[in-house]
Structure 1
Amino acid sequence: MTSSTDGAVPIMIVGDSISHGSSGDWTWRYRFWTHLRDQRVAIDLVGPKATLDDIRTAEAGDDDSTYADPEFDRDHNAQWGRPYLTEKSLIEAKVAEFRPAYLLVLLGINDLFWYGVEPGQFEDNLREFVANARRAAPSLRFVLGSILQTQRAVEDEEFAARVAACNARIRAVAASMTTPESPIVLADTAREFVAADHTWDGTHPNPRGELRIAAAFADVLAGAFALGAPYPRPFTEPADIPAQAKAPLGEPAARPV
């Protein structure tokens, strides 16, 4: 296993807005990092970004450092709107630059929501993503998250069926592309995640959702790779995000989150 120079295990979180987070969030990255810190496991989160997106502005991808608690390793490789469709061509260079030992990947909802990717093409894109990442690091370890439930999937049966089909493709890719040198394991991030309870807008995780995503990845690292311990259950009831953190600049908060 590769590790960074100070002995910490380098981990790159690859994701979209669900992992990137927005103004006022703790993020599931924070929950994951603090859990492993509490287990006295030294990790080094790596990647090209360290910021949130400023949800209070109309621009996507603008930097915002207003974390609910900034005292954690904030480096990551997540961006609002990102699909496998585009990240598959970029991941090799990022792995080569940041040299992670593990990729924790939570992508897919944008492939379906914005790009209309069908399950067969989704699988092809995911296979390319894995192959390209391995070109930079043949012994890279992958933990692939399943696509979370969103309010759209609750209301739209056809969309829900596409999500389910693509989650099945993620499982199939993990099973068929895993190797002893470069294992691929599924983190079933969707299993304990319910859009109505665990998002603040039908898609993006609230603090309760953050805990469940972090737990799914932590459980896999503990069970499959002996890195840390499973996330404790039952889940605590975390503090909520101040509503003003999500309100457009200069306007009052529309509702509590």
Structure 2
Amino acid sequence: MSLAHPAHTPDMINIMIVGDSISHGSSGDWTWRYRFWKHLREHGSNIDLVGPKDTLDNIRTAEVGDDDATYADPEFDPDHDAQWGRPYLTEKDEIEAKVREHEPDYLLVLLGINDLFWYGVEPPQFEANLREFVACARRANPGLTIVLGTVLPCRKAVDDPDFGARVDACNNRLRAVAEDLDTPSSPLAVAETAAEFIATEHTWDGTHPNPNGELRIAAAFADALADRFGIGARYPRPYPDVPPVALDAKASID
């Protein structure tokens, strides 16, 4: 049986990870998707990661979004819906079609930093976009469960107090939206992905997670699924100290 395509059974949980470059990953990464999948499988959860992509971004080229299959360990289910540069601003218009096509039971969503960094979205518009994203996803599946990750603190949020304040404000709005829109038929929970993530220690370039950052993102989503929905188990602490990705994996191709 292929790891990437487990046999579907009545107790199978289909999970679609929706994200930007932080979830997409790039050449040589394990990705937090890998660590999340490994953890849930180790704790007996019968899951299938679904989505339109199964690749990394080839960061060794100038083009954004070109496929790269050089995972540090390819032995996992790599399907996902993550893309470098993606914001809520655009994904809100695309998520309904993707949910209809890939039929997830759960959406795990980690978006937002591009809205703030590249598109200049302010907290009120961030909230409006998030509410529209949830509504569109639910139109495709009224019984969908959604877990929203908080926006991670990138290096810019550390160096620029105004930007950091916008990140904090958007995370507060995200939590408020989750509380407001949570229903018994379509639960909406929060994964506190930012809680244990330190940009200066857990990224390789100030934004994108290194292996130790991947662990913390995976743990936040695993904890949310375990605590709220009884799926799998909380991620064990203390975290191991994982070696970094080999530098040549990120080297430009001449």
SS of equivalent residue, structure 2 residue 34: helix
Q: What pairs up with 1:96-175 in 2 under 5 angstroms?
A: 96-175=100-179
State the match for 1:31 in structure 2. 35
Distance in 2 between the 1:156 and 1:81 partners? Answer: 20
State the match for 1:181 in structure 2. 185
Deviation of 1:55 (Å): 0.6
Aligned positions, number: 248
State the match for 1:196 in structure 2. 200
Deviations 1:73-110 (A, max 9, x none): 00000000000000000000000001100000000000
State the match for 1:253 in structure 2. none
Deviations 1:135-182 (A, max 9, x none): 000010010000001110111011001101100110011000110000
User: In structure 2, do the counterparts of structure 1 residues 206 and 156 end up closer, same or farther at CA, with 3 Å as the change threshold?
Assistant: same
Match of 1:9 among 13, 24, 27: 13
Deviation of 1:7 (Å): 3.6
Match of 1:55 among 47, 53, 59: 59
Deviation of 1:183 (Å): 0.7
- Contact residue 16 and residue 106 of structure 1 kept, 8 A: yes
State the match for 1:76 in structure 2. 80
Counterpart residue identity of residue 73, structure 1: D
Counterpart residue identity of residue 22, structure 1: S
Deviation of 1:5 (Å): 4.0
State the match for 1:67 in structure 2. 71
Question: Where in structure 2 are there 5+ consecutive unaligned residues?
Answer: 1-6
Is 1:209 aligned to 2:209, yes or no? no
State the match for 2:4 in structure 1. none
TM-score by length of structure 2 reads 0.96
SS of equivalent residue, structure 1 residue 112: helix
Counterpart residue identity of residue 37, structure 1: R
- Contact residue 4 and residue 10 of structure 1 kept, 8 A: no
Deviation of 1:44 (Å): 0.2
State the match for 2:23 in structure 1. 19
Is 1:222 aligned to 2:237, yes or no? no
TM-score by length of structure 1 reads 0.95
Question: Where in structure 1 are there 5+ consecutive unaligned residues?
Answer: 251-257
Which consecutive aligned stretches of 4+ in structure 1 deviate over 6 angstroms post-superposition? none
SS of equivalent residue, structure 2 residue 189: strand
Counterpart residue identity of residue 152, structure 2: L
Deviation of 1:4 (Å): 4.5
Deviation of 1:240 (Å): 1.8
